[in-house]
Amino acid sequence: MLLNVELGSEREVQDSLKEIPEVKEVHKIYGVYDLIICVEAETMEDLKDLVEHRVRVIGKIRSTLTMICIKEGDVQVGIGKGF
């Protein structure tokens, strides 16, 4: 997910996101969006619940863009530690 947050609130939002077990990675980025997060959910209904009731309700998040990975390949490419 890509997130836009209020100016200067990146660290506060990052800390809140890290408390959600389904949020596996949180990174600050530069550009149109401020943060990128990787989440895991068993079903689309679980994802919907996570996005609507646990992520978007965090104060200072202005907007989100959710992108769904439909298939994992043999090679993992990403950002941050662990890749």
Task: Count the domains in the chain.
Answer: 1
| CATH number of residue 51's parent domain | 3.30.70.920
pTM given for the model: 0.80
pLDDT digits (tens, 9 = 90+) for 8-66: 999 999 999 999 999 999 999 999 999 999 999 999 999 999 999 999 999 999 999 99
79, pLDDT greater than 60 = no
Q: What angle do CA 12, 39, 35 make, to 5 degrees?
A: 40
Domain that holds residue 45: 2-65
Q: Examine residue 52 and state whether it is found in any structural domain, yes or no.
A: yes
Q: Examine residue 83 and state whether it is found in any structural domain, yes or no.
A: no
**Cα→Cα distances 4→7, 30, 35, 61, 82, Å:** 9, 11, 7, 6, 24
Q: Examine residue 42 and state whether it is found in any structural domain, yes or no.
A: yes
